[in-house]
């Protein structure tokens, strides 16, 4: 038999069960209402969505949800979807892609002005980095943002190198070192000076501001020296006397001199130099001549003395009397010795000289105080007995700077 207490408990349980059922039903009901409301709100928002693009120079553009078929989509993590093709088409139509209005950014430049290289400031344009712009637009749409600033988001292409970039600063220093070089060549009695005005046209500046010299142009310059030297000196020298009539070439080593000149320029040197010479296999002994030798062109009646590649002295001379059969023999010789204040004697003469430098039997170089003129065609009818007569100052300078064993080259050009 049920007690009053038992019946009371049943009634309470029923009430509790009913209340729980109503609570659960309410949760489900209101959740569905919220879900439907949210869905309805999102669909409406997608149609009305607008993304404003803040560009340079105060330009503003917009992309609307309707233009890209933006809609609610619960199947994707972001909860929205859009037509990517339509988005790309809309982006392509933005004013910032109008080629007539686009100004490309430019790197800082190195230009030659007033005998030196200077840096010209870079240019910041309005050209867009499309991939960066696309990524930021997609991110803004997914985050329901309504405005983005293209400049703040670094959507514009920027110069890779600016005035303070280490690459361009270093390149400027290198360029100005190169063009500071001043190189004077002494060869065959001639001089030729190479300076920055010519060197600047041989320089190559790479995309990343690597500096180099265009070797073919350097070689072309050396070729011009070699060709000039050949025409002045002659392509070969007929050797007689102690060298059994062999022929020998005395030419500039083009390859070696090109490499040497490049290094001279890279180091920004100011120097006087003699070009590097090469010899034929027939003149292997000539390799020891180096840059110290006496050069006598008997056609031009002129002498040059080089020491360690530098022109020490030059001047007109008088060689052997051609009409009398006393022509000075062409050839490559070595100085025997040198002697001061002596008398040169022959069958019909005795000639006191201050500086005597024999190099081929009794033939040598000496001063000739009895002559008032040198050079020209004097040698043809009033030349020496075979020696090389030089003005006092020429003979003295050679004497004071020469040693036995130095090469003496006599030739007809």
402 and 312: one domain? yes
Last residue of a domain, one of 113, 137, 163: 163
Alpha-carbon span 282 to 251, nearest angstrom:
13
Residue 58 lies in a domain: yes
Give the per-residue pLDDT at 6.
Answer: 55
Q: Is the dihedral of CA 332, 338, 341, 343 positive or negative?
A: negative
Catalytic-labelled residue, pool 96, 155, 274, 387: 387
List pLDDT tens digits, range 239-267.
Answer: 333 333 333 445 678 899 999 999 999 99
Alpha-carbon span 393 to 106, nearest angstrom:
63
| Phi, psi (degrees; rounded to nearest 5) at 237 | -120, 120
Alpha-carbon span 228 to 59, nearest angstrom:
66
Task: Classify 179 in phi/psi space as left (phi over 0), alpha (psi -120 to 50) or beta.
Answer: alpha
For residue 375, give the DSSP letter.
Answer: S
257 and 335: one domain? no
326 is catalytic: no
List pLDDT tens digits, range 191-206.
Answer: 899 999 999 999 999 9
Last residue of a domain, one of 163, 194, 218: 163
Residue 284 lies in a domain: no
65 and 116: one domain? yes
129 and 64: one domain? yes
Residue 132 lies in a domain: yes
Which residues have a Cβ under 8 Å from the Cβ of 79 and sit 6 or more positions away? Answer: 42, 72, 73
SS3 call for 338:
coil
120's tokens: 């010209």
Task: Classify 327 in phi/psi space as left (phi over 0), alpha (psi -120 to 50) or beta.
Answer: beta
Give the per-residue pLDDT at 24.
Answer: 45
366 is catalytic: yes
Alpha-carbon span 215 to 217, nearest angstrom:
5
Q: How many domains does the chain have?
A: 4
Alpha-carbon span 396 to 355, nearest angstrom:
7
Catalytic-labelled residue, pool 248, 274, 302, 366: 366
Alpha-carbon span 184 to 272, nearest angstrom:
5
254's tokens: 């083009």
List pLDDT tens digits, range 349-399.
Answer: 889 999 999 999 899 999 999 999 999 999 999 999 999 999 999 999 999
145's tokens: 């943002």
154 and 230: one domain? no
22 and 76: one domain? no
User: Half-sphere exposure (CA, 13 Å, Cβ side) for 217?
Assistant: 11
Query: Of 307, 402, 404, 235, which Cα lies nearest the Cα of 390?
Result: 402
295 and 361: one domain? yes
- Boundaries of domain holding 140: 49-163
42's tokens: 């999102």
| Structure-model confidence comparison of residues 75 and 94, the more confident one | 94
> Contact 332/237 with Cβ under 8 angstroms?
yes
When the pLDDT of each residue in the chain is averaged and rounded to a whole number, the result is: 83
| Structure-model confidence comparison of residues 312 and 289, the more confident one | 312
pLDDT band, very low/low/confident/very high, at 411 (cuts 50, 70, 90): confident
Last residue of a domain, one of 220, 248, 275: 275
User: Half-sphere exposure (CA, 13 Å, Cβ side) for 26?
Assistant: 6
List pLDDT tens digits, range 208-238.
Answer: 999 999 999 999 999 988 877 665 544 444 3
pLDDT band, very low/low/confident/very high, at 12 (cuts 50, 70, 90): low
């Amino acid at each position: 038999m049920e007690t009053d207490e038992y019946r009371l408990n049943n009634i309470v349980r029923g009430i509790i069960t009913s209340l729980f059922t109503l609570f659960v039903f309410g949760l489900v009901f209101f959740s569905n209402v919220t879900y439907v409301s949210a869905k309805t709100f999102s669909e409406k928002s997608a149609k009305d969505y607008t993304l404003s693009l803040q560009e340079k120079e105060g330009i503003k553009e917009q992309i609307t949800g309707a233009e890209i078929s933006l809609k609610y989509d619960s199947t994707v993590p972001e909860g929205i979807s859009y037509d990517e093709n339509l988005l790309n088409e809309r982006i392509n139509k933005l004013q910032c892609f109008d080629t007539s209005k686009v100004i490309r950014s430019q790197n800082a430049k190195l230009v030659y002005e007033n005998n030196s290289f200077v840096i010209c400031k870079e240019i910041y344009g309005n050209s867009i980095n499309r991939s960066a712009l696309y990524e930021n637009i997609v991110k803004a749409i997914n985050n329901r943002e309504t405005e983005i600033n293209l400049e703040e988001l670094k959507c514009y292409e920027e110069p890779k190198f600016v005035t303070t970039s280490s690459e361009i600063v270093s390149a400027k220093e290198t360029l100005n070192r190169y063009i500071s070089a001043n190189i004077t060549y002494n060869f065959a009695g001639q001089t030729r000076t190479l300076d920055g005005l010519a060197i600047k046209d041989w320089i190559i500046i790479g995309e990343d501001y690597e500096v180099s010299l265009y070797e073919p142009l350097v070689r072309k310059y050396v070729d011009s020296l070699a060709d000039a030297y050949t025409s002045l000196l002659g392509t070969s020298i007929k050797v007689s006397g102690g060298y059994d009539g062999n022929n020998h070439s005395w030419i500039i080593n083009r390859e070696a001199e090109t490499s040497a000149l490049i290094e001279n320029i890279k180091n920004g040197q100011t120097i006087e130099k003699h070009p590097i010479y090469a010899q034929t296999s027939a003149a292997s002994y000539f390799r020891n001549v180096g840059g110290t030798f006496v050069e006598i062109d008997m056609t031009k009646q002129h002498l040059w003395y080089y020491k360690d590649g530098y022109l020490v002295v030059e001047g007109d001379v008088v060689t052997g009397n051609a009409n009398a059969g006393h022509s000075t023999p062409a050839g490559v010789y070595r100085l025997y010795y040198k002697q001061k204040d002596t008398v040169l004697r022959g069958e019909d003469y005795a000639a006191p000289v201050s500086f005597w430098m024999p190099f081929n039997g009794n033939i040598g170089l000496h001063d000739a105080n009895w002559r008032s003129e040198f050079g020209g065609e004097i040698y043809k009818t009033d030349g020496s007995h075979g020696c090389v007569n030089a003005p006092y100052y020429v003979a003295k300078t050679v004497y004071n700077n020469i040693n036995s064993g130095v090469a003496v080259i006599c030739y007809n050009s």
